[in-house]
Amino acid sequence: MFSILRINTATGESKTEAFDSKEYLLGGRTLSSRLVSNEVPADCDPFGRNNKLFFCNGALAGTNASSANRLSIGAKSPLTGGIKESNAGGIVALRMEQQDIRCIALEDAPKSDSPWKIIVIGKESTTMIDGSFLEGMGVYEKSAVLSEKFGTKAGCVTIGPAAEKMLLASGLACSDPHGVCSRYAGRGGLGAVLASKRIIAMVILDDGKLKPTYADKDQFKVGVKKLITLLRENPVASKFTKYGTAAMVDICQSLKVLPTRNFRHGTMDDAEKINAQTMYDTIKERGGEGKTQHACMPGCVIQCSNVYPKKDGTILCSPVEYETMALMGSNLCVKDLDAIALMNRIANDAGVDTLDCGAAIGVAMEAGLAEFGDGAAAVKMMEEIRDLTPLGRILGSGCKTAAKVLGVRHAPHVLGQALPAYEPRGTKGMAMTYLSTPMGADHTFGFTLRDEDDPTTKEGKVELSKKFQVIGSRMDAMGMCNFVRYSVRDDMTPLLDLIKARYDVIITGKEFDDFVKETLRLEHQFNIDAGISAQDYRFSETFYEEAQPETGEKIDISDQETAEARNW
């Protein structure tokens, strides 16, 4: 049986229910999106009492299987107006498992002027205590205070000042293995949804000592070793260990899809100043607390994360990943890793999504508020977000809002969510994915870039995107890290065997993919019921009118084609 802990944020009452369905067994996005679909009225106000926030761990959480402790968080998004699943690494999923919890559901909402509360979940009780003392603190300070009060091993979820003011690009910060809330479920404005329930933090205490049980412990051990071998032998995963996702800077530059100058261009001069090799060399040269490889969750053998140090070797920011390097680097023509890492740190402290805020600053630069390439000005804009100035509140509401306010037509988003770090006119497969995910523009939903023989034609891209939408969604579907997919891309058996060994439940590859496709169907239906129409799944019109200089390409994908890519 799997438990869901329901907490009424208006009354403080809580109750536990238990289920034994395969949806609960799989957990992750399979569960979070079903719960949103079943329990949240699609036409509700995302900040109203009818929205709910679901935190789900996955089928292998709490075990020693590598990369199995992703936390899937679902709700109606205030940024897109549709369904949202955003996930993060860290230790929260593990702590939930140790408390025998598959899902935490935050329901209802108190009056908007109610005092801030902290939810504390332990083996003896679930309580809501006063959280007013955290108000206004940055995430790093909140994190330190929470660690001091509840211990560094507690699994915490908190928000920054941006979410306290309901900014649409605000995320949820989750504890990393060192007790720092630096692992973000950044996309979709879910931080503001937590704030709308007047919850400033949620803490899962480290007093849950439940050990994982196994139907066949020996077989599970065999399966864990097999997965580790697959991950270590897979050159993709092994390269992640050295360079992390930063390696994409060079790849995207070569493919002319590195977002540059507010997504006007696909290449940037001197891109090597912010590439993986420069980052690797900088971290090694500075030494100190810097790390070129780092695990975001216990037991992960991929270790794609990093710790970027200041010149004196103390931590500046962890992690600094490709998407941020592009949106806060090349997209702004900022060629300085220190400036990018500082912006990333400020974003983490303010509690906002680096992609949406990077894109918003790109829009602001196009509007003439600063020169492209001016790293100091970009840092100052991030400080404005953290300090909640009027401009900061606009930028912290994402690039769609910023573009409307600042009068910029070339706004890089779909459904209000900023484009990730692949300029869509140069990669029609990624463009198709952006236009067909129920979450707003999202690269993890169907990462076609490596498999596009001819990236500048739309031919065959419906099928290609759909193929990778399934591959990409499999990991979310059971709470695994997305990077495991490379090792099980053609055969999910190693993970399904682990499920069998743990629960004595057989899920075939076809049955698993049926769950994935049903999840996609439910997510799209939610968006339809929320009033999102086919015409909303478009880029800004300028992407259709103006060619990307490096490729000469425009977006030529029709509504009918994107509708086909959303048809499950």
Partner 1 sequence: MVKIYFKLSDIEPMEIQIKRPETLDHVLTLCREQASIDIGEFIGIRNSRVITGEQIVENGDEINIFPAISGG
Instruction: Pick between residue 397 and residue 548 the one whose CB is nearest to partner 1.
Output: 548
- Per-residue mark of binding to partner 1, 323-362 (x: CB under 8 A): x---------------------------------------
Convert 257-312 into a string of H (helix), E (strand) and C (coil).
Answer: CCCECCCCECCCCCHHHHCHHHHHHHHHHHCCCCEEEECCCCCCCCCEEEEEECCC
Instruction: Pick between residue 189 and residue 420 the one whose CB is nearest to partner 1.
Output: 420
Which residue do the tokens 């129920």 mark?
A: 438
3-state secondary structure of 503: helix
Instruction: Pick between residue 170 and residue 306 the one whose CB is nearest to partner 1.
Output: 306
Q: Determine the interface stretch with partner 1 among 309-317, 449-457, 494-502, 534-542 (rule: CB under 8 A).
A: 449-457
Instruction: Pick between residue 225 and residue 239 the one whose CB is nearest to partner 1.
Output: 239
Cβ burial, residue 313 (10 Å; 0-12/13-18/19+): middle
- Per-residue mark of binding to partner 1, 457-496 (x: CB under 8 A): -------------------------xx--x----------
Which residue do the tokens 């029709």 mark?
A: 558
Q: Is 537 in the site for partner 1 (CB under 8 A)?
A: no
Count the neighbouring beta carbons within 10 Å of the beta carbon of residue 239: 13
Q: Please select the residue that binds partner 1; options are 290, 420, 438, 479, rule is CB under 8 A.
A: 420
What span, in angstroms and rounded, lies between the C-alpha atoms of 399 and 395? 7
Q: Determine the interface stretch with partner 1 among 90-98, 149-157, 252-260, 517-525 (rule: CB under 8 A).
A: 252-260
Cβ burial, residue 343 (10 Å; 0-12/13-18/19+): buried
Q: Determine the interface stretch with partner 1 among 23-31, 79-87, 337-345, 440-448 (rule: CB under 8 A).
A: 440-448
**Length in residues, the chain:** 568
Instruction: Pick between residue 166 and residue 247 the one whose CB is nearest to partner 1.
Output: 247
Q: Please select the residue that binds partner 1; options are 451, 504, 511, 541, rule is CB under 8 A.
A: 451
Rounded to a whole number of angstroms, the minimum distance from the CB of residue 235 to partner 1 is 3
Instruction: Pick between residue 100 and residue 321 the one whose CB is nearest to partner 1.
Output: 321
Cβ contacts of residue 96 below 8 Å, gap of 6+? 55, 57, 61, 71, 102, 104, 155, 204
| Contacts (CB under 8 A) with partner 1, residues 198-237 | 234-236
Instruction: Pick between residue 101 and residue 326 the one whose CB is nearest to partner 1.
Output: 326
Q: Is 369 in the site for partner 1 (CB under 8 A)?
A: no
Q: Is 308 in the site for partner 1 (CB under 8 A)?
A: no
Rounded to a whole number of angstroms, the minimum distance from the CB of residue 321 to partner 1 is 6
Rounded to a whole number of angstroms, the minimum distance from the CB of residue 422 to partner 1 is 8
The token duo for 403 is 């573009």
Cβ contacts of residue 376 below 8 Å, gap of 6+? 339
What span, in angstroms and rounded, lies between the C-alpha atoms of 144 and 113? 26
Tell me, rounded to whole angstroms, the distance of Cα 89 from its chain centroid: 9
The token duo for 186 is 């950044």
Q: Please select the residue that binds partner 1; options are 113, 124, 218, 453, rule is CB under 8 A.
A: 453
Rounded to 5 degrees, φ, ψ at 206 are -90, 35
The token duo for 226 is 């097999």
Rounded to a whole number of angstroms, the minimum distance from the CB of residue 435 to partner 1 is 18
Q: Determine the interface stretch with partner 1 among 45-53, 199-207, 254-262, 513-521 (rule: CB under 8 A).
A: 254-262
Q: Please select the residue that binds partner 1; options are 83, 248, 283, 334, rule is CB under 8 A.
A: 248
3-state secondary structure of 170: strand
Q: Are 189 and 79 in contact (CB under 8 A)?
A: yes
Question: Which spans of this chain sit near partner 1 (rule: CB under 8 A)?
Answer: 234-236, 238-240, 243, 245, 247-248, 250-251, 254-256, 276-277, 304, 321-323, 420-422, 443-444, 447, 449-456, 482-483, 486, 550-551
